[in-house]
Amino acid sequence: MEKTGGQLQLSIPPIATKTISTLFTIVITMVGLLFITFIIGRVMPVDPVLAIVGERASQAQYDEAYVSLGLDKPLLVQFLIYLNDVFHGNLGESIRTGMPVFDDIKRFFPATMELATIGTLIGIVVGIPLGVLAAVKRGTWIDQTARFVALIGYSIPVFWIGLVGLLIFYGILGWVGGPGRLDIFYDDVVPTVTGMILIDSLLAGDFEVFSNAFSHIVLPACILGYYSLAYISRMTRSFMLEQLSSEYVTAARVKGLSEARVIWQHAFRNIGVQLITVVALSYAGLLEGSVLTEIIFSWPGIGSYITTSLLSADMAAVLGGTVIVGLVFVCLNVLSDVLYRLLDPRSK
């Protein structure tokens, strides 16, 4: 509260303004996403009523289902009903599984999150040092090799490298487990707590299940991790090259600081905030872009769930999965923005 010219004026803190602005952006983004998914559900060449009642249903049964789905109402009213249902956690019912879509997603999404998390960790652990090394050794064979590795990661189709990996490491060498999350013998052995087999098996103290689950996840996670490290290493190299050419780096070297200190305590520290956004985007990309990997490895995640539902004309499941993936993207972007502001005072 400030007093100006004898009158009291309300002063809103900058952090409150930014918070309100962020929340408003999230709401607008989600409403836009829901509108797009709603329109997609209406323009798809699939009759949702026919998918429910079947082709042999009578006209009376068809009309009854048509009205019960609210398709007789104006399009705007349908969208508002859809909006209300989604915000109350009602994503419809899956025709294929006969379960609420939200329950299906709670069952399938942890598998994708587990796979994408390990893939992203591989991308961080390998990609960041590789990108830093490539920037420091710019123009040398090390730089050329790192750039080649990243190029291959962008160029090779995931289905090809997945099939080759299964053939070599599972079919020929037998180093890893086959498709699926577990051997059939271990299904439902440990109680479900988080939905992530590795964590649940550790919580249950069952290291035999953990070992089996690890043997199944290591190959698809490494494949996703390769694509993640290709992106992360490329961006890290670009950021580091910009910092290493800055005047403050030259000044630090003139002062006699060691090269390791110049690189890690000065240059790398200044790209840490940018890397947060890169890692968040990479993680989000793996969460929604692991469809082919999940199909090849029979991984029961959200990607394979959406794909199977699409082939079955189960539009409620497809749209529900799309909404959840979009929500994850929004949340990760907001999280990276918050971390950006916390770690970089200049952005406040």
Q: Which of 21, 55, 87 is the last residue of a domain?
A: 87
Q: Indicate whether 8 pLDDT > 70.
A: no
Q: Indicate whether 118 pLDDT > 90.
A: yes
pLDDT digits (tens, 9 = 90+) for 119-156: 999 999 999 999 999 998 888 998 899 899 888 887 88
Q: Which of 28, 63, 87 is the last residue of a domain?
A: 87
Q: What is the pLDDT of residue 291?
A: 80
Question: How far apart are alpha carbons 302 and 150 in whole angstroms?
Answer: 27
Q: Is residue 92 part of a domain?
A: no
Q: Is residue 192 part of a domain?
A: yes
Read off the tokens for 282: 């990479």
Are 37 and 139 members of one domain? Answer: no
When pLDDT is averaged across residues 289-306 and rounded to a whole number, the result is 85
Are 157 and 265 members of one domain? Answer: yes
**For residue 169, what is the domain's CATH number?**
1.10.3720.10
What's this model's pTM, rounded to 2 decimal places?
A: 0.82
In the predicted model, what is the mean pLDDT of the chain? 82
pLDDT digits (tens, 9 = 90+) for 300-344: 888 888 888 877 777 788 888 888 888 888 888 778 777 777 766
Q: Is residue 243 part of a domain?
A: yes
Q: Is residue 312 part of a domain?
A: yes
Are 226 and 138 members of one domain? Answer: yes
Are 186 and 279 members of one domain? Answer: yes
Are 183 and 112 members of one domain? Answer: yes
Q: What is the pLDDT of residue 37?
A: 78
Q: Indicate whether 56 pLDDT > 80.
A: no
Are 250 and 119 members of one domain? Answer: yes
Range of the domain at 35: 2-87
Q: What percent of the chain has pLDDT over 70?
A: 90
Q: Is residue 294 part of a domain?
A: yes
Are 334 and 291 members of one domain? Answer: yes
Q: Is residue 72 part of a domain?
A: yes
Question: How far apart are alpha carbons 295 and 291 in whole angstroms?
Answer: 6
Which is nearest to 348 in space by CA: 23, 17, 30? 17
Are 10 and 113 members of one domain? Answer: no
Q: Tell which wins on pLDDT, 134 or 93.
A: 134
pLDDT digits (tens, 9 = 90+) for 146-204: 899 888 887 888 888 888 989 999 989 888 888 888 888 888 888 888 889 899 899 98
Are 70 and 116 members of one domain? Answer: no
Q: Is residue 94 part of a domain?
A: no
Quote the number of domains for the chain.
2
Are 125 and 208 members of one domain? Answer: yes
Are 120 and 71 members of one domain? Answer: no
Please calculate the CA angle 163-121-302 and round it to the nearest 5 degrees.
Answer: 55
Question: How far apart are alpha carbons 202 and 209 in whole angstroms?
Answer: 9
Q: Which residue carries 């190029």 as its tokens?
A: 151
Read off the tokens for 142: 């090390």
Q: What is the pLDDT of residue 15?
A: 60
Q: What are phi and psi of 8, to 5 degrees?
A: -90, 130
Query: Which residues does residue 4 pair with via DSSP β-bridges, in sequence order?
Result: 7
Asked whether 123 and 221 are in contact (CB, 8 A), the reply is no
Question: How far apart are alpha carbons 50 and 198 in whole angstroms?
Answer: 41
Q: Is residue 121 part of a domain?
A: yes
Q: Tell which wins on pLDDT, 341 or 250.
A: 250
